[in-house]
Structure 1
Amino acid sequence: MHTSRWAVLAYVAIIIFGCLAAVPSVLPQGMREQFTSILPFKPVTLGLDLRGGSHLVLEVDGAGLQKARLNTLLDDTRRVLRGERVSASSARISGNAVTVSIADAADREKVLPKLQELATPVSTIGFGGAAPEVEVTTNADVVTLAITEAGLADRMTKAVEQSLEIIRNRVDQVGVAEPLIQRIGSNRILVQLPGLQDPTRLRELLGSTAQMSFHMLDQTADVTQPPPRGVDILPGANDGNKYPVESRVAISGERLDDAKVGFDQRTNQPVVDFTFDSLGARQFAEITRENVGRPFAIVLDGKVLTAPVINEPILGGRGQISGHFTAQEATVLSALLRSGALPAPLTIIEERSVGPNLGSDSIRMGLYTGLAGFALVVVLMVVLYGAWGMIANVGLVLHTALTIGVLGMIGSTLTLPGIAGIILGIGMAVDANILINARIREETEGGAGAMKALDVGFNKAYATILDSNVTTLSGTILLFWLGSGPVRGFAVTMMLGIVISMFTSITVVRLLMREVVVRRKMKKLEIPSLFGGVPHLPTISFMKRRFQAIGFSAFLSISSVVLFFTPGLNYGIDFVGGIQVEAVSKDKIDLATLRHGLEALNLGEVALQDFGNGQSVLIRVQRQPGGEQEQTAALNRVKDAVTTAVPGATLERTEVVGPTVSGELQRSGFLAVGLAMVAILLYIWFRFEWHFAVGAIAVLLLDITKTVGFFALTGVDFNLTAIAALLTMIGYSVNDKVVVYDRMRENLRKYKSMPFSDLIDMSINQVIARCIFTSMATALSLVPMAIWGGETVRSFAWPMIFGVIVATTSSIYIGGPILLFLSRWWKDREASRTTAQQPGTPAA
């Protein structure tokens, strides 16, 4: 129990530093700014679900990027052929390559070195050196130019980097404060915009490639007939007309120098004034001089914005785009033109938005449920351990403060599931204190003095605490690795909570308890409950009822498997894709009118869920056929239908998950569960023996099936939050099993001749109080969140409470019998093998 003075000073410094880091997160805005100006600590960043805003994930169109590169390669190839006076008519795109047929061998020899120059080297990640972007090969008289994998990867990297800069410019120009724009994966970009509730304008801004060009119109072409060669029929962007546009680009949009919003002095309508650079100004002057009296089309992303007639030459390099714009549309268009064209189309594959009112409600609800859960845990510790429970509560307060402080220091974003992770971490942090107090009680009952009971109690509890926390941590790490968005926020807070609880329980609580023992010169360390002494250990024979326990558990698990298929799980949009909208009105919402308006959209299955005294409704629309763009279009139609059916309604939350993201989330969620079980199996096998590991996994499968049956029976949304609950329940369940197994391992060393069934009964009786008390603490921390936490965390809290109950009962009633069966089976197998190997044994 001796701790050096330097170690104590280090612990004090860590606590002071962590608590100071937590202060900015709990201070009002004005005091927070004063505090942060003195000390370099920042408050925890709130996620969009707590302060409101929009979340978009955009994906670079790889197919479009490849097509554009092939077109450029085809143009370059034709240019080389014309430069060497070789016919370019045979050059064409064939699959993912450009092919050229050159019959004359001399021409091939002459052209081939020039074509090889098109194969520019690109850097390759992981292999060093460089690889060609284009691979040039010959087969008889056919020359093939194929884009390599390295070339496509390099092109994608550059496109994403360029898109990042263009998106950042566009967002800055429309004035969104504190945007988060970053690359995720190889071809995706995350855009988070706090405070922007309706991302419609931003969606138009980010989803448009803004490829602008200027073309002459062919006045002889008939838009109702197939166009002649060199002419394209393009739709108008605002008027619904069709225009015969010459395919040849008169002036490229790259020649634009600036664009800004203005107003037409005659009509007072918003317009966009633009200017060309010096080369563009000369080209513009030349074209307008040669084509007076002809219409001139301004084309943006394949649509004609306007097609004015050139009345006179324009020599100043300035022009104007008018097309019956609103002021907002003109602002978006000018921002698009100023920031430049995207190198490839961007598809919005995931969209989520939360209104500021809902965000503030979430903060308030998270704070209230957190305080309520914390208060219940504090009361429980005082009831169980009296004054010694207050020392454990000091550790819990420090645990919470340090968790918030570290979140602020590492710049992590706190989400509503993250708050749930902090609350759950408080409940699970109690486990270490319960283990320690239970061990100290046992040593005291065995006749140990105060200091010896304290020393031995902490030492014996330490290994169990370490094993149980490692198993919980393994599932949480997988959740962080494979999860996304708010679920990763939950994983971060859980990981921090587990690590910090080790520090507060093993160091801070130990030092405080030692200080009390020394200062009071205690001879005997008794830890009574609030109601007096503690009864002796029970002597329940669990193994006698093992067949009934396993039979009942198997019945519940089989029933749960049946429920999994019929009626099945209520999958959330995270896994099946689709649209989810939460609408709030000051008056009671007429669901029949709203349902009629939504069904008239013919979007497939539409589900309405009424809550909030009839003034709030959750609308779910199935995933639409097609890709991500169809989902976005359907969302706009749903929004219009809601505002029409419920005048004055506000859309507090919208979510759109396309087929790409939903499929990935489903795979990663179930992969996380599978990998968590494998990691736990290997760790328990390493720390104990193989039959302990197999027994833990067998019991864990029974626990998981029952929890899945709970989801199917109650209809609670099975989404990413549910996966988080399932993984946390797995960690908690194994935590319970490790405590029981650790006691069995200890007793196996102490009572080598005791029958294994009696040893299992004795071990379970020794830890049954710890299992029940820890479950009570964890459940109590979750109950306020389950009742008042709102829809977002309800699919986490209720399954976790159910999972805690199931895990505790399986640790007491199921884990021991399965371990006994495996042990006896292995001994019988070894005995039969030994008998078979003895000399003189007759052959079977």
Structure 2
Amino acid sequence: MRTSRWAVLAYVAIIIFGCLAAVPSVLTPAMREQFASVLPFKPVTLGLDLRGGSHLVLEVDGAGLQKARLNSLLDDTRRVLRGERVSASSARISGNSVTVSVTDAADREKVLPKLQELAAPVGTVGFGGSAAELEVTTNGDVIALAMTEAGLSDRMTKAVEQSLEIIRNRVDQVGVAEPLIQRIGSDRILVQLPGLQDPTRLRELLGSTAQMSFHMLDQTADVTQPAPRGVDILPGANDGNKYPVESRIAISGERLEDAKVGFDQRTNQPVVDFAFDSLGARQFADITRENVGRPFAIVLDGKVLTAPVINEPILGGRGQISGNFTVEEATVLSALLRSGALPAPLTIIEERSVGPNLGSDSIRMGLYTGLAGFGLVVTLMVVLYGAWGMIANVGLVLHTIMTIGVLGLIGSTLTLPGIAGIILGIGMAVDANILINARIREETEAGAGAMKALDVGFNKAYATILDSNVTTLAGTVLLFWLGSGPVRGFAVTMMLGIVISMFTSVTVVRLLMREVVVRRKMKKLEIPSLFGRVPHLPTFSFMKRRFQAIGFSAFLSISSVILFFTPGLNYGIDFIGGIQVEAVSKEKIDLPTLRHSLEELNLGEVALQDFGGGQSVLIRVQRQPGGEQEQTAALSRIKDAVATAIPGAALERTEVVGPTVSGELARSGFLAVGLAMVAILLYIWFRFEWHFAVGAIAVLLLDITKTVGFFALTGIDFNLTAIAALLTMIGYSVNDKVVVYDRMRENLRKYKSMPFSDLIDMSINQVIARCIFTSMATALSLVPMAIWGGEAVQSFAWPMIFGVIVATTSSIYIGGPILLFLSRWWKDREASRSGAQQPGAPAA
């Protein structure tokens, strides 16, 4: 089939566009600025694991938000009662509602409409209707104002939106370049700040609600005794003292108009100078005029920053906050005050940071291992297919360039697992060319001319390539949907690789091969290897050894299940929560001293892993009871202990995962594996028959159990990266099975009277070379990552190499016997039902 000139021009335009989009990613910043008018494309954004920085996930405190709204609602209710001159025996918060007891029926009738006015409409439901924030009901003397689900959801949405804006303002105040601040889910906010190695300042900046208020101190109260009515005993923010603060707010922090860092003229210590708006200035003047000689407390988030004595009226609306601040602390405080208070507390549920040195090492490592993997795959293609392998390699080069270009176009972030995804995508893209070349060889051996062999080979291979890519894509899409962070980056590059390979490895390579055939006026299309003709592999009778094969496979799977329970998997902090810190020193690290310092913290189980010639250590501490805030506090103590035990040590990486996130990540990971298997089952059932689908899932379960056993035996971290490896292995394994099944389906149409066991043997022997060659290409692309890729990708690369070997052997030795068993079982079942074998069923 001849390709039209317009189609060729369209392909060339796509290739040029993809290559141009990739150019900015390989230019220096200065060169990008120089060619900005010619190349208006953005470079690929590097993830924090490649350039260093801090990553935080914050969760809006829904309970705190609801409590604040109920307190406000209680005040509004009391205001309504006072305004209507209605006497209530009680008005209080009960659960998620405010209840008011009004014994007089006439008063109830009078006040009820006013209370119902407090229920503002929120959002829209149905056909343009609206839902109420509150549901007002009566039960005898009691009027209840309960918050509705719509009301809580609307308040959460507004709180997150307001928090996003405030966080952006706070980050802008401290001057961090290229911050990423975005909403994730209904109640969470992701903050990524490149280049900020130590997230301590960021934690202070974002974790504080910045609820500031000004109060008078009660000089008659004793802080060692229970607080009298109308007084709160609050701790000092810096001095450890306690202060008897009047509960009534003298001036709200909302009246602040500006705050900036200054220096005390007498001590030259950093202070925060603030200024009120016009209303606040008048209130400040009145309060200081009426309370000369009394101490005045400035309170931030329930802690007293300072409590100076009012020496004289302050009429200018300006003041000063002092408290032995460092310049950095004063900068953070002034940024908090300028950007305003958060509508609800934010809890840090996940924290990760990567030092710039580790980031640059990751870039170097990713580049070197990527080039090495690519070089091994390219070399294999030349060895297998000679000059025709070079044409396939042109497709691989275009595949890589266009993947990088599309990553830049869609604004995706490239992470170290993302690089692994690109390299693995290259290894799997080779599968299309191996399938195509194998088909062309078959057609040539059958006597077809060059052009016919080319066209028929591509057409026959296309259906198999499509089925293989769809099954792999199913697992990758689920990984993106249910994954997070760098794992999503891996999923994005894999999805792009699969889609782009359909263009580069099929369309472009076909066009190039056709051009060679036409220009050389070839009569016969032979595809020899680099060293001459390809020897035919001997024919094997796999079905005769089916019982030994299934028995050995079952033995390995049962052993793997035992290993799963004893010794079990080495779960990473993604799944069990906890703290992980990587410390690097110029001198050899004294591990016993470090262990002693950490054990004195009483944080539970502490594990130390020495690597990097004794100058690097990975510290793991179990999840802390008490929730996310305890985790964050424990990290600060660990950092102090490391600084004491290893003077001058650099913390190259820190990770804190709280119980909320770890539980969700575990559920999402295992759900992704389950859903991937269901999706694959349905697709194979649709494309083939039910026993093909059931057979594929049965073999897949055996492959998965063996891979899980590999994790248990080697002690490799079982984390989100491991789930990515499992899902990719599932896709690869099914890819392999689909190739075998597709050949069986084709042979069933050709040889309707052939015994099914013989047909299975023939089909496997026809595709065994493809299975081995594809496995070699995929494994070779992963080997450099497994050896030199570092911890971040080794927990992916080694299991994937193992999984590729297992998947290939199961496709050859296990898939056929299970399919034969299912076919015979179904035939016997149908025969027992009807008394005779159904016409058209394959004979065994």
Structures share fold, TM-score greater than 0.5: yes
Tell me how far 1:532 sits from its aligned partner: 1.1
Q: Could you tell me how far apart the structure 1 residues matched to 2:534 and 2:19 are?
A: 36
Please give the per-residue CA displacement for 1:377-399, whole angstroms capped at 9, x wherever unaligned.
01100110111110001110011
Assess if the C-alpha contact under 8 Å between 1:391 and 1:512 holds in 2: yes
Assess if the C-alpha contact under 8 Å between 2:288 and 2:313 holds in 1: yes
Q: Could you tell me how far apart the structure 1 residues matched to 2:433 and 2:530 are?
A: 16
Tell me how far 1:33 sits from its aligned partner: 2.3
Residues 302 and 607 of structure 1, relative CA distance in 2, 3 Å threshold: same
Please give the per-residue CA displacement for 1:442-475, whole angstroms capped at 9, x wherever unaligned.
1111111111111111110000000000000000
Assess if the C-alpha contact under 8 Å between 1:607 and 1:621 holds in 2: yes
2:799 corresponds to which residue? 799
Please give the per-residue CA displacement for 1:362-417, whole angstroms capped at 9, x wherever unaligned.
00000000000011001100110111110001110011011011111111100000
Q: Could you tell me how far apart the structure 2 residues matched to 1:170 and 1:742 are?
A: 58
Q: Could you tell me how far apart the structure 2 residues matched to 1:208 and 1:400 are?
A: 44
Q: Which ranges in structure 1 are unaligned for 5 or more consecutive residues?
A: none
Assess if the C-alpha contact under 8 Å between 2:752 and 2:842 holds in 1: no
Equivalent residues, number: 844
Assess if the C-alpha contact under 8 Å between 1:78 and 1:88 holds in 2: no
Per the alignment, in what secondary structure is the counterpart of residue 90 of structure 2? coil
Tell me how far 1:29 sits from its aligned partner: 2.9
Per the alignment, in what secondary structure is the counterpart of residue 566 of structure 1? helix
Assess if the C-alpha contact under 8 Å between 1:120 and 1:134 holds in 2: yes
Tell me how far 1:41 sits from its aligned partner: 1.1
Tell me how far 1:88 sits from its aligned partner: 4.4
Q: Could you tell me how far apart the structure 1 residues matched to 2:837 and 2:50 are?
A: 69
Residues 279 and 842 of structure 1, relative CA distance in 2, 3 Å threshold: closer
Per the alignment, in what secondary structure is the counterpart of residue 36 of structure 2? helix
Please give the per-residue CA displacement for 1:35-71, whole angstroms capped at 9, x wherever unaligned.
3332211110101110110000000000000000000
Tell me how far 1:227 sits from its aligned partner: 1.6
Q: Could you tell me how far apart the structure 2 residues matched to 1:454 and 1:635 are?
A: 62
Tell me how far 1:538 sits from its aligned partner: 2.7
Tell me how far 1:842 sits from its aligned partner: 28
Q: Could you tell me how far apart the structure 2 residues matched to 1:641 and 1:573 are?
A: 21
Higher alpha-carbon deviation: 684-693 or 317-326: 317-326
Q: Could you tell me how far apart the structure 2 residues matched to 1:181 and 1:613 are?
A: 38
Tell whether 2:391 aligns with 1:367: no
Q: TM-score, normalised by structure 2?
A: 0.98
Tell me how far 1:6 sits from its aligned partner: 0.3
Q: Could you tell me how far apart the structure 2 residues matched to 1:366 and 1:50 are?
A: 9
Please give the per-residue CA displacement for 1:578-630, whole angstroms capped at 9, x wherever unaligned.
00001111111111111111111111111111111111111111000011000
Q: Could you tell me how far apart the structure 2 residues matched to 1:79 and 1:511 are?
A: 79
Residues 839 and 167 of structure 1, relative CA distance in 2, 3 Å threshold: closer
Q: Could you tell me how far apart the structure 2 residues matched to 1:843 and 1:350 are?
A: 59
Q: Could you tell me how far apart the structure 1 residues matched to 2:306 and 2:687 are?
A: 74
Per the alignment, in what secondary structure is the counterpart of residue 581 of structure 1? strand
Residues 89 and 650 of structure 1, relative CA distance in 2, 3 Å threshold: farther
Assess if the C-alpha contact under 8 Å between 1:584 and 1:652 holds in 2: yes
Assess if the C-alpha contact under 8 Å between 2:707 and 2:799 holds in 1: yes
Please give the per-residue CA displacement for 1:776-799, whole angstroms capped at 9, x wherever unaligned.
000000000000000100000000
1:519 corresponds to which residue? 519
1:265 corresponds to which residue? 265
Assess if the C-alpha contact under 8 Å between 2:827 and 2:837 holds in 1: no
Q: Could you tell me how far apart the structure 2 residues matched to 1:841 and 1:408 are?
A: 52
Assess if the C-alpha contact under 8 Å between 2:89 and 2:102 holds in 1: no
Tell me how far 1:837 sits from its aligned partner: 12
Q: Could you tell me how far apart the structure 2 residues matched to 1:489 and 1:839 are?
A: 51
Assess if the C-alpha contact under 8 Å between 2:350 and 2:656 holds in 1: yes
Q: Could you tell me how far apart the structure 2 residues matched to 1:33 and 1:792 are?
A: 33
Tell me how far 1:841 sits from its aligned partner: 23
Please give the per-residue CA displacement for 1:616-667, whole angstroms capped at 9, x wherever unaligned.
1111110000110000000001111111100110001000000000000000
Q: Could you tell me how far apart the structure 2 residues matched to 1:100 and 1:808 are?
A: 71
Q: Could you tell me how far apart the structure 2 residues matched to 1:546 and 1:306 are?
A: 81
Tell me how far 1:126 sits from its aligned partner: 6.7
Residues 669 and 86 of structure 1, relative CA distance in 2, 3 Å threshold: same
Please give the per-residue CA displacement for 1:112-151, whole angstroms capped at 9, x wherever unaligned.
1111110111113676421111111111111111111111
Residues 838 and 569 of structure 1, relative CA distance in 2, 3 Å threshold: closer
Per the alignment, in what secondary structure is the counterpart of residue 407 of structure 1? helix
Q: Could you tell me how far apart the structure 2 residues matched to 1:128 and 1:588 are?
A: 69
Percent identity of paired positions between Structure 1 and Structure 2: 93
Assess if the C-alpha contact under 8 Å between 1:835 and 1:841 holds in 2: no
Q: Could you tell me how far apart the structure 2 residues matched to 1:537 and 1:10 are?
A: 41
Q: Could you tell me how far apart the structure 2 residues matched to 1:842 and 1:494 are?
A: 38
Q: Could you tell me how far apart the structure 1 residues matched to 2:572 and 2:49 are?
A: 17
Residues 837 and 191 of structure 1, relative CA distance in 2, 3 Å threshold: closer
Q: Could you tell me how far apart the structure 2 residues matched to 1:100 and 1:336 are?
A: 38
Please give the per-residue CA displacement for 1:544-594, whole angstroms capped at 9, x wherever unaligned.
000000000000000000000000000000000000001111111111111
Q: Could you tell me how far apart the structure 2 residues matched to 1:42 and 1:214 are?
A: 48
Please give the per-residue CA displacement for 1:292-314, whole angstroms capped at 9, x wherever unaligned.
11111111111111111111111
Q: Could you tell me how far apart the structure 2 residues matched to 1:828 and 1:135 are?
A: 64
Q: Could you tell me how far apart the structure 2 residues matched to 1:385 and 1:323 are?
A: 75
Assess if the C-alpha contact under 8 Å between 2:785 and 2:794 holds in 1: yes
Tell me how far 1:839 sits from its aligned partner: 19
Please give the per-residue CA displacement for 1:481-525, whole angstroms capped at 9, x wherever unaligned.
000010000000000000111101221110111111111111111
Tell me how far 1:281 sits from its aligned partner: 0.9
Higher alpha-carbon deviation: 128-137 or 720-729: 128-137
Q: Could you tell me how far apart the structure 1 residues matched to 2:629 and 2:292 are?
A: 41
Per the alignment, in what secondary structure is the counterpart of residue 240 of structure 2? coil
Higher alpha-carbon deviation: 260-269 or 31-40: 31-40
1:250 corresponds to which residue? 250
Stretches of 4+ aligned residues off by more than 6 angstroms: 836-844
Q: Could you tell me how far apart the structure 2 residues matched to 1:843 and 1:101 are?
A: 83
Tell me how far 1:87 sits from its aligned partner: 2.0
Residues 88 and 167 of structure 1, relative CA distance in 2, 3 Å threshold: farther
Tell me how far 1:200 sits from its aligned partner: 0.2
Tell me how far 1:31 sits from its aligned partner: 2.1
1:323 corresponds to which residue? 323
Assess if the C-alpha contact under 8 Å between 2:610 and 2:616 holds in 1: yes
Assess if the C-alpha contact under 8 Å between 1:82 and 1:88 holds in 2: no
Assess if the C-alpha contact under 8 Å between 2:421 and 2:490 holds in 1: yes
Please give the per-residue CA displacement for 1:654-682, whole angstroms capped at 9, x wherever unaligned.
00000000000000000000000000000
Q: TM-score, normalised by structure 1?
A: 0.98
Assess if the C-alpha contact under 8 Å between 2:451 and 2:517 holds in 1: yes
Tell me how far 1:263 sits from its aligned partner: 0.7
Q: Could you tell me how far apart the structure 2 residues matched to 1:309 and 1:668 are?
A: 56
Residues 212 and 838 of structure 1, relative CA distance in 2, 3 Å threshold: closer
Higher alpha-carbon deviation: 825-834 or 777-786: 825-834
Please give the per-residue CA displacement for 1:326-372, whole angstroms capped at 9, x wherever unaligned.
11111111111111111100000000100111001000000000000
Residues 125 and 643 of structure 1, relative CA distance in 2, 3 Å threshold: farther
Q: Could you tell me how far apart the structure 2 residues matched to 1:837 and 1:654 are?
A: 66
Higher alpha-carbon deviation: 82-91 or 588-597: 82-91
Tell me how far 1:32 sits from its aligned partner: 2.5
Assess if the C-alpha contact under 8 Å between 2:198 and 2:353 holds in 1: yes
Residues 342 and 696 of structure 1, relative CA distance in 2, 3 Å threshold: same
Residues 645 and 110 of structure 1, relative CA distance in 2, 3 Å threshold: same
Assess if the C-alpha contact under 8 Å between 2:56 and 2:192 holds in 1: yes
Please give the per-residue CA displacement for 1:173-212, whole angstroms capped at 9, x wherever unaligned.
0111111111111111110100000010110110011111
Assess if the C-alpha contact under 8 Å between 2:756 and 2:842 holds in 1: no
Per the alignment, in what secondary structure is the counterpart of residue 522 of structure 1? coil
Q: Could you tell me how far apart the structure 1 residues matched to 2:335 and 2:359 are?
A: 29
Per the alignment, in what secondary structure is the counterpart of residue 563 of structure 1? helix
Residues 396 and 843 of structure 1, relative CA distance in 2, 3 Å threshold: closer
Q: Could you tell me how far apart the structure 2 residues matched to 1:161 and 1:378 are?
A: 50
Q: Could you tell me how far apart the structure 1 residues matched to 2:171 and 2:825 are?
A: 67
Assess if the C-alpha contact under 8 Å between 2:416 and 2:486 holds in 1: yes
Q: Could you tell me how far apart the structure 1 residues matched to 2:814 and 2:841 are?
A: 39
Per the alignment, in what secondary structure is the counterpart of residue 523 of structure 2? coil
Tell me how far 1:28 sits from its aligned partner: 2.7
Higher alpha-carbon deviation: 290-299 or 672-681: 290-299
